[in-house]
Amino acid sequence: MRGALRALKHKQSKRKTTSSKRRFLRKSVASVLLLNALCFSLVPAMALAEGEQTEATSTKPAAVPSATTSIPSVESLDLKVRSAVLLEPVSGQVLLSVNGDEALPPASMTKMMTEYIVADLVKQGKFKWDEVVTVRKNAANTIGSRIFLAEGDQHTIEELYTAMAIASANDATVALAEHVAGSEQAFVKMMNDEAKRMGMTHTHFANATGLDIKDMPEEFQPTDGKETVMSAMDAAILAKYIVTDHPDFNRFTTIQSKKFRARDTAPMVNLNWMLEANKDNVYLRKYAYEGMDGLKTGHTSKAGNCFTGTAVRNGMRLISVVMGADAKSESARFVETRKVLDYGFNNFETKQIVPPKATVAGTETVTINKAKNTKVPVVTDQAVSFVVPKGADTSAVQAKVTLDDAASLTAPLKQGTKVGTVTYSFKAPGMEQTLEKTVNLITAQDTEKAGWFTLMMRAIGDFFSDLFNGIKNLF
């Protein structure tokens, strides 16, 4: 009986102790929670008291300022021309266009096509610079800017080409056209064919010089009566072909002056007042432009004063075209050209977006059929550069890969074999158009063909894999 009483008392005592511990824990937890609440309620006040930001502003990352330079509007240039274009010839990017597609009389800028064709035929070996040309009736009777060729005169292609390039000699131009094609109109057909090939969609040539048809010798005039027209955009495209296909163009266009004949009392003078070399000419130094080395002036009463210029600075070449500048001011075309070129050089730069031999994220390798190592590394075949506003962030460039037909990707393949293309696109801040360039994707190494045993084992493996997947799909 006593034992039972002691057990009961012990049990009751244990319950009291447990209950006491529970009350203590509850009080402790409540105290901790109260203390935490008090501390957290004081933090904002303490922060504000110390001059710190509130939570809403302090947790946001600081805005990154844009690195893009503000580009002035084209309207702010106050161009006094009928049309104008600024183009970068490597990428083909158009940086400025004012009525760029309007077909207008180009005057002697027409001769750029004559220059291109003659230089190209010499480059192909069909003619030689020292080849002698005999002047015919049409050339001898051609008026306007000229070097006064007489029928029967003989001069080399290079001599006539120089007269055409620096002095815009109409008679020298016609003499070259007739020598190359047999007649000026046959040469005109070549000019229009080339224009079509180059994508000059707002151009028609009536002669090799740019003269109005009424000013041509009557018996050599075209019968359809269609005058020569060319848009500023087409002139820029033509100039792009000249500087790209014939990078030595400036061995002619930078000649400041030269006698055509030894007996001539005065030399031919380059009509491009903006040549950089003119910085030392007391009369023309105010027009001299850094990096200017071409290309062609033009003037008629209908065309006004026109000029296709090109200059290079810091490794970037630009082509400018102005048409329809003040017909009464020979300097107007150069004043307006300076505005256009300054706009380009002051606000844009060429930036390499992707280096040559670069890998493309997500397409580091391609699968080559029957290859010893089926996964072959691939890279781009060339660098990608865009003309962008100075300081522009180009990290957002995007790449889209298009692989060639899988059946064509079969070993063996030589290193450098094209397996697809990758198109890089970039929307430059401050520019309306999205810039794009497509380059080839090529193999980075030779790809050997696997041996017959390896190919057999792969075929067996593929057979059982297909069989297993077929059975699995039944269930």
Distance, in Å, from the CA atom of 412 to the CA atom of 109, rounded to the nearest integer, reads 52
Q: Tell me if residue 320 is catalytic.
A: no
Q: 90 burial class (0-12, 13-18, 19+ CB within 10 angstroms)?
A: middle
**HSE of 119 in the Cβ direction (CA atoms, 13 Å)?**
23
* Closest-CA residue to 271 (of 148, 121, 179, 144): 144
Catalytic residue among 97, 108, 231, 320: 108
Contact predicate 322/336, CB 8 Å:
yes
Distance, in Å, from the CA atom of 146 to the CA atom of 264, rounded to the nearest integer, reads 13
| The residue type at 139 | A
Distance, in Å, from the CA atom of 376 to the CA atom of 442, rounded to the nearest integer, reads 10
Q: Tell me if residue 60 is catalytic.
A: no
**Sign, CA torsion 277/283/288/292:** negative
Q: Tell me if residue 14 is catalytic.
A: no
Contact predicate 166/271, CB 8 Å:
yes
Distance, in Å, from the CA atom of 88 to the CA atom of 317, rounded to the nearest integer, reads 6
Question: Tokens at residue 276, please?
Answer: 């950089």
Checking DSSP bridges between strand 348-354 and strand 229-230, what pairing results, if any?
Answer: unpaired
Tell me 220's DSSP state: G
Cis before 412 (ω within 30): yes
Catalytic residue among 145, 168, 231, 385: 168
- Which residues of 92-179 form beta strands (DSSP E)? 93-98, 132-134, 154-156
- Which residues of 113-176 form beta strands (DSSP E)? 132-134, 154-156
**Angle, alpha carbons 244-248-252 (nearest 5°):** 125
Q: What is the DSSP string of 341-368?
A: HHHHHHHEEEEEEE-TT---TT-SEEE-
> CB 300: neighbour CB atoms within 10 A?
19
Catalytic residue among 111, 240, 351, 437: 111
Question: Tokens at residue 457, please?
Answer: 């084992």
Q: 184 burial class (0-12, 13-18, 19+ CB within 10 angstroms)?
A: buried
**How many helices and strands, by DSSP H and E, does the chain display?**
11, 18
Q: Give the residue numbers annotated as catalytic, written as ranges.
A: 108, 111, 168
